[in-house]
Amino acid sequence: MVQVETFNDKKNYIAEYEAFNIDDEANLYTLHVYGYSGNAGDGLGTHNGLPFSTKDKDNDKSFGFCGDIYGGWWYHDCRLADLNGWMEWFTGNKWLFLDRTEMKIKPASVN
């Protein structure tokens, strides 16, 4: 689950995913996410299938060096959802500029 709070109006938005998985190092920590529900918009869905980029590992599809500029994340054209740099989340039709974020991940065996 990803919970975000907007900067100006302090509204809370939630994005929940039925499945969230990250590959191992050999597969560049590629993100696999699907089954979105919530009111935040599917911000992580556009990052599905993308490898993780950092300052020293440029694995993104952008011409720029997203990890160096914005911090570690699963980038496609630098950002549509980014909780580690400029905290932004794209809902599908508008940008949310975030004051606070929280990402909760639990093992699949935990209910």
Q: How many domains does the chain have?
A: 1
For residue 77, the model assigns a pLDDT of 76
Mean predicted lDDT score pLDDT of the chain:
82
Confidence of residue 37 (pLDDT cuts 50, 70, 90): very high
d(CA 57, CA 2): 25
Q: pLDDT for 49-85, tens place per residue?
A: 999 999 899 888 777 778 888 888 888 777 667 676 5
CATH of residue 60: 3.90.215.10
Query: Under a CB-based contact definition with an 8 Å cutoff, are residues 101 and 88 in contact?
Result: no
The candidate with the shortest Cα–Cα distance to 2, out of 11, 20, 14, 12, is 14
Is 108 within a domain?
Answer: no
For residue 99, the model assigns a pLDDT of 77
- The boundaries of the domain holding residue 33 are 2-102
For residue 92, the model assigns a pLDDT of 66
The residue type of 33 is V
Percent over 70 (pLDDT), the chain: 82
Is 18 within a domain?
Answer: yes
d(CA 110, CA 10): 31
What pTM was estimated for this model as a whole? 0.79
Is 110 within a domain?
Answer: no
For residue 67, the model assigns a pLDDT of 83
Is 109 within a domain?
Answer: no
Percent over 90 (pLDDT), the chain: 24
